[in-house]
Chain A
């Protein structure tokens, strides 16, 4: 199987047939500076005219968007985690338990003693709570399963190395939906077609920054040439590590990973699955050779069964 279905691939545009092309563009989302303002979500919808995606209170912290989908191309996750003694200390602000020293201080009235077991901070104990925010988006994979499986060619690779759906060609077959290892692309029910982030293809063409990155006040979303972003991200992780934030890690940056690296990659402060990301995504077509081989073998087996069924007695 050709290497271009998996593994390292340094010039994805060339692989897609562009001989001359601009550098590969992408996102580096540094979640350590995200303030959860959701400006990215709104800017994306505003620019791309994405319809409303339902009005329901989820009960999941401040995340009422809940997931990426056909009508949500940016999604800001809010991870509320109590800092159990067992949880890794992020060095980020915890909500210190007020009055944790009240035992030594002694209660105001001697008659009343607080039960030792009942801690100040309710469930989370003295260590408090931590609130991580992270803006998720289509990863514009080097090996994009959605694109690979699309039977119509509706999904295509742009000259910037991004992955875009052409709504006029999409026939709503829905194949891209379960193919994406990140659960990004989805089919809009009322409309039947598949939609996802285009990395603002129209804006890129006019030299503009994608709407979400433009709107982000803290530069959590950084847009640029992928190579440059990767270098920047490496620096940032080192910086955070130096500050003792050992939990900082890059996600989707490694060109050797299961999807050949993401065009949109992230700096995370916890395991990917905590943010709803797969820990080790693999493009499904990595196994395509094996899949077709088995399909072929099974077809052969069926042929053999068919032939064998006619061997022997004429009854």
Chain B
């Protein structure tokens, strides 16, 4: 009846094996998709701005489209996820830095407006100056849009997320870069997709490094990223990202390879978001991820205290 020990090592107790914290009520696929498109859109806005400045209209068009499309899809996903969609605007009543969702709304809203404006201007050729300014603005909001979602997840009591708060933003930055780069690799003529490839490769490097660090630093709390369905997702995504990186590094200029690698980047980024999301749910559902680290923390503190206490006595 009682959960004496779910895992052989660290013994821990629980109340009939019931979870302690609540599982996030956020829905799948809405939220993982939101994480993905947000990341992709944010990085795409950067790509678009670079393309504009460096005179790559093809890339610019694709990236502007990706940014605008991502913003729109992300907004829809977010609204859809709300328990009361009709009250979406309540989100903009206040700005609270303690609430990444609030901050995020104030990033997403302007980003969406700016990127859509920039894309519209680019496609229609009208009000080009405003379009350029909007593009610049979107690029400014892009990186925070890509990384704030890490804060969104990490600023919770969900162990696998919260404990990973140092790595998660980088993981998301990297993953956003691979998605944006990958998408552009697929859709942009080979002549213009160099920056996209480079962005993807760099993103992959950042993402893989962050993931590696997360796993080592978190110890048992990282377990949900390794086991079960989220583990499978994460492993798959990592393998795909790594493979895409290698392939694009070696043969990225080949159009066909570029399409394959790019698709794989995008898919990997999407899968990563599902993996991260589900790993969080797993860690919320099993009390051991809540109890054991907290117990260890208490033990550490007690040891420290004893140490402190011991000192003046000497």
Which A residues form the contact surface with B (CB < 8 A)?
5, 58-60, 63, 66-67, 69, 77, 79-81, 145, 148-154, 169-175, 177-187, 191-194, 271, 273-281, 284-285, 287-288, 290-292, 294-303, 305-310, 312-315
User: Is B75's beta carbon under 8 Å from chain A?
Assistant: no
* Contact size range, B: 35 or more
A314→B24 CA distance, assembly (Å): 46
Contact A179 B156 (CB under 8 A): yes
B190-208 Cβ-contact flags toward A at 8 Å (1 or 0): 0100111011001100100
Question: Which of A273, A275, A277 has its CB near the most chain B CB atoms (within 10 A)?
Answer: A273
**In the complex, what's the smallest C-beta–C-beta distance from B219 to chain A, in angstroms?**
16
- Set of chain A residues within 8 Å of B162, measured between Cβ atoms: 284, 287
Segment 296-310 of B: residues with Cβ below 8 Å from A: 297-298
B1 at the interface (CB under 8 A from A): yes
What CA separation (Å) do A151 and B83 show in the bound complex?
A: 14
Distance from A78 Cβ to chain B, minimum over Cβ atoms (Å): 9
Question: Which residues of the other chain, B, contact A306 by a CB distance below 8 angstroms?
Answer: 43, 46-47, 49-50, 139, 142-143, 177, 199
Q: Residues of B with Cβ closer than 8 Å to A?
A: 1-2, 12-16, 18-26, 42-43, 46-47, 49-50, 53-54, 81-84, 87-88, 90-91, 93-94, 96-102, 105, 139, 142-144, 146-148, 150-152, 154-158, 162, 165-170, 172-173, 176-177, 181, 191, 194-196, 198-199, 202-203, 206, 253, 280, 284, 287, 290-291, 294-295, 297-298
Q: Which residues of B contact A187 (CB under 8 A)?
A: 25, 83
Dominant secondary structure at the B interface: helix
In the bound complex, do residue B169 and residue A151 qualify as a contact, i.e. CB atoms below 8 Å apart? no
A-B CB contact pairs (8 Å), 19 listed: A60-B1, A79-B15, A149-B99, A152-B90, A153-B93, A153-B94, A170-B84, A273-B15, A279-B291, A284-B155, A287-B155, A287-B165, A295-B151, A298-B146, A302-B143, A302-B147, A305-B46, A306-B47, A306-B143
Contact of A302 among B14, B21, B42 (CB under 8 A): B42
Q: Which one of B25, B54, B198 lies within 8 Å of A177 (CB-CB)?
A: B25
B92 vs chain A, min Cβ distance (A): 9
